Each structure stands twice: as C-alpha cells, then as structure tokens.
Structure 1
C-alpha cells in the first residue's frame, strides 16, 4: 500500500497537481515562530501588549447641554426693590441714666451780649446800647474759649456759668480801670445741641438752652412722628457710645432729659406702605416669572433643537465616512477553516476578544476544521525581534478552553488561523488528483 501512495505522490508531483495545505510551523521548521499555548497565565501576558482602541468623535458623547443652567440664564429674575416687612416683636425698653440738673455752662460758639452803661444824652445812651447789640459777632466764644472785648482783651469764659462769667468779666474790667457796671446774657446757644432724625416730619438740630430740654420737646420741634402705624415706632437714643431705646407708645410714661451731643432716631420697624409695596412687587415678579419662563422655555427648545441638529449632522457625517472606509480603522483577519475568509473591525472605545471576532464571522467550519489547531498570529512589538511571529495556540478540542477565547484580547493586524483536519487535507488532495490522473491516462492511450 505504501508503494502505491508513493507512486501516486510521484505521479501527482509530475502532473503538477499536488495539494498544498497552509499550516503553522513550529520552531524547528521556522526559528522566527514561537508557538505559545493559551492558558490563563499566557492570556494575561498576551493582553499586556499595549493598545488603545480608537475612540468615537466627541459628537457621540456630547449632549444638548445643562438644561437647568440654560434656563437659569434665560429666565433670570431682577433683584427685588423692596425687602419683606415682618411685624417686630416686643421692643426691650432701655432708658438712659438721668441727667443731673446743673446750671448751663458757656461753650465754644455761644454768642454773649454785654450791656454797659454809657454816659451822655439819652440819644447817645440809646445809640451805645444799639452799638453793643450790633457787635454780637465780636462776643462769640472763640475756639480757645475766650471772647475779645475792646480795651480789655481776651477773657476766658468757656466752661463757666453766667454767674462765673460775670465775675470774671468784672475782675478784668476793674483791672483795666473801666467802669465794671454791665450785664451779660447769652444771645445764641450754639455749643450744646441735640440732633433728631428718622420718621419725623422735619429732622433738625435743637439747641440746649438755660432751661432743660426733654425728649418730648425735641419731637415737637421736629414736627412730630410721621408713621402709618405708630404702634411699631421705636425711639432710639445714642449717648456716649451707648444705645438706649423705648417704644413710642411708652414715651408719655417717662420724662427723659437730654444732654449735649445726644442723637435721637425715630425708627419704624414696620412700614405699612413698604409692606404693601413689597407684596405688590411680589405679585408683579410672579407674573414676570411666569412670562419669562415661557419665553425661556421657547428659547431653550430652539437652542436644544439647534444643538441636536448639529450633533446629528456630525454623527451622520462620521457614519458616512465609516461606510465609505474613509476613516482609519483597526482590523483583525480570519483565515483557514473559517466560515468566511474576512476581516473583523475592532470596535470603537472598547477591547474585542478572540471569541468576538471568531463568532461574529460565523465561527469555524465544523466539517473540515481542526478544533485543536486554532491560532492567533501576532507580530512581535519588540524592535529587536521584528521578524518574530508569536502564535498563541488555542486547543479547543477541550471545549472548556473556549473560555480563554472570551478573555484573549485582540490587537490590530492579528490573524486568526484555523487549521484543517488531516482527513480533510487527504480528501482535498485526492479530489484534486483524480482529474489529473484521468487526463494523464487518456493522453497516454491516445498517444
């Protein structure tokens, strides 16, 4: 039998009809080929080869934007002009300490009038009196606390009562050998004042004179309190860095004497008109909010439609380029006893496995493929070993090894090769040789 096969081989070789089957050579046949069985450990080594899958353009990940932020920008409301008015609670009464009843002391800025007796006729005396009255500016207490009197000089009277000032002037007149007959009075009180403001008709500054000044009097001088609801009016008194207060309704119960530099403010904790204006404004703001939301929604829908149209156009353009094979792609090639000799596109944005490519193209031909001879052929990435080919060998005769196919990641330009069964190789050789033998025999008989 063996001589017959040998003779048949010689005949086929002579006829040029010998069948040649592709296979993966071992290291003994080709030193540049390394065959590595696929195991759980070798799969991890194979997957360690660096590879970054190609990414889809940004248009596939973009959305129409933050709807809430866009709506907030287009529907922004104006700032309110009025603040909400809340009815205050009970105001704590804090009264100032009582002011001692001391005589008035002349101060800087006060204007004093000196009346002196003049000799001569009645007309001359009257003229002298009028002249003295017209010289008030000359008797204004200066910054140094003195007044300047002709023929007498400067006399210090600031900080003195009227009696003390009269005694000091008498002494200076005697020293100047001038008739010490005179009278002194204060014409203008400018050194001691009290200010009042807030919810009063006429905010003003009231002077403190020889008679005591009380809080009720200052309110009267300012024209009284002006407030729609007097139950919520508070009088605040600032004195020597301290704040005192009491409700307006309790003012008749107290007699508060004021002193120099007191500051009074009539405070309306609740303003009825402002409260009404606030609620009116809130109604207007609600109406504006409703209309602005409708307008913002329309603008938002228009902008979303425009953005969506742009994104859809970008995506459609990219998909058309992919269909026309006009964009770079990564491929894996399938060869041998597979359902279809083809190339498999590596997907965008993720890794693909041997199982993905193998079964996407229909898998192996069950009648002719050798399940124990499935290879992933990969060129070496080491520049020093550029000619080396690594053949990752999957022995699928043991069906459990197909699990390794689901873990084995593919790289660009990998070749998946499935070898044929030995019987398939023999059948193909026979089917190819028989027509050649018949042709050879006929030719011999003819000749």
Structure 2
C-alpha cells in the first residue's frame, strides 16, 4: 500500500485517502472504546426520551371530543367499574406428600380367610361387615370389631393399622390371617369452587392429589377470559395465587400437591362478555326512557363517523408535514461501507438499537466493509468540551458479538461508520492509480514524438 501511495504521489500527485477513525486535525480527542456489556450499559445510561407521537394518534373515535362543530356524543350508559386487576403470582410451595393416614369417616375393608375356623371365629364380623363393605372409622378414631371390641386406627398408615390389628387379633386368640384395604376416603378433602363447571369436595386418597386433578374433578376451569382469571389456593391462613394463563402453560404448577383442608377457588375479576351484555342492557334502558332507541344509535354512529374523519384528517396532516420536513425528528447517520449512505429516523416512543439501524438499511457490504471495524461515533454532550467524541468500537468478526448491537441504544446524531477492508483499500487505490499512470505515460510518449 505504501508503494502504491508513493507511485500515486509521484505519478499524478494524487494520494488515495481511506476514511478511518482517528484524532481530528484540530486536535479534538476521539476516544475509541471497545463495546462490552459494561460499556453498553454506560452508553445507554445517557439521558434520552424518544419523541412522542401527537395526541391525535391516541384518540379513538367515539371517545368524546371537544372539537368545534362536532357536537357532543349522546349520553353513555353506565359501565361497571370493575377493571382487570394486576395479577400476582405466588405459587404453592412444593411439598412432599406423606403416606395416607386413616381418619374419621374412612371406610376400611377387612378380608379374612374363608376357612371354617376363621369364619366361625369371625362370623359376627363377616355377617355384619361383608354387607356394608367394610368398617367406618368412628368419631373416636376406632372401628368396632365384633367379639374384639373397638380398635384405634385413626392417625395410622395402612401398614401401621395392619400391625395394630394383627396384635389385637392375636391377643384375642383369633387367626390373624387377614388383609386390610381402604374402601372409601372421607376424612381428608380439598374444596374446589369458583369459576369451575361444578363446585365439589375432592377426597385425598392413597395417591397424591395434584392441583390439576382437583380442578379436573370439578369439571375444569370455566371462564371466558382466561387472561383475567386466577387460581387461588387458601392453605393454613395463607393465600397463594397463580394466573390461569400461566397455570395452563406450566406443568410444574399443574403438578402442585394439595393437602387436607386446602381450598381451591378460580376467580375472575373481569368478564368481557358480561360487560358487553351489561352495556347492551343499559342502552335498552336509556332507549325505553327516551323512546328513541333507533335515533340514539343513529346519532351515536353519526357522531363516531364525524370524529373518525376528524382524526384521520389530523393524522394525514401530520404525515404530510413529516414528508415535507416541517416536523422535527431525531436521526442517526450511516456512513462508510454501508449499503446506503443514509440517515435513519429514530422511532417514536421507543429506543432503536445499533442492530435496528444496520439491518433496517440493509446492513453493511461484507465484500468491502471490515466487520472488525464497526463504530458508533457519539458527541460527549455531558462534558464541558462539546468537541469530545467517543467512538464505540464493535468487532463483529464473530457474529455472536452482534448480540451487543441489539443492546446498544442509539442517540440523536449518532454516526454509524464502517471501515474498508484492507483488500478494498488496495483495490480502490489501484483503480485510481493505473489510469493516472497510463495518462502520464501517454503524455510522455506524445511529448517525445
């Protein structure tokens, strides 16, 4: 390159100039800062509030207007004040289910051998209980076995109850060959209500009872607008809340284990269809009072059309002023090896990133641009020296670094600059050099003749 520069200087007095980020001729500093996560955070901390769209872009036809000539809207019916409340997320804590313990009201099935001696010894038991399909645990926590008496089983697991019965039968000299099963579960329940198809009490059995299983037993969640519904679980004086939309998307919430005494309630604070029906009923009431339902609705439609036309006219006027440059905007400027030397208008009410600027304008030319030399030049307006410039340097040879470009927020008057590749500099220098040398040689030859 130095050789070409010398030839160019000697041959035609022209030296190819390649733009690059460096200190300016007047000595004003240009600080090059490699873009890292920390530097992105620092750069983004500079104050900037995106421009807001005119209020006309937020107005809706039919929302009321004070514009001259439009008149007032007909009186609106009363609407319910209930609005969607901010949903909180406080999931049930994870619990390890304990082995089922027998309780009052549970029904146990006691089965013995069918041998004659056993039948004779437990004839009263078999005659009485085989018809009832087992023993019901009484209020005192015991079951009454004929010829044996009450046996306390409440609070015991099935295995512990079998051990207790074995001891009692042996003590009463009865053949202890038996099996014990849980026939019915009544002592432990979970209440399910609210916006479900059928409120119910769901018993807890030998298997763990999950939140999903409990709601399924109640017929499932029955709400029109799931985004406003919440699954609430009351447990030991604590309230746990899970938005229905989140509950339906997450298996871990559906698999939460319920405990005895839990109360599950599906609640919705806002129902869109109900609100619409309410609105219609109020319209009917107003119409009955004024006996002019058709004229009221016609007046409403006419007024809405007038307001809509007014809004569209003002919006069109703003867009026309924008095209003619009568509205002030914030811009970022692209230069160097980009697809188009252009300016990028920063959007209204949101921040644009370096990636937005690059790719909305077609990115940079990878055949001529150097991906390791991408710069964002920004004037340091916070310092006393307004001429100071910070050059945020992005090395995008590794495409993973482009993630940083999606995080760096743009500021008004930023300049995005991409340097040439070395081979591009050589190519352009040679393109300018050879025609000049040929012209010089031709001039020399003609002069010699």
TM-score between the two structures when normalised by the length of structure 1: 0.49
Work out which of the two has the higher radius of gyration on C-alpha atoms and give 1 or 2: 1
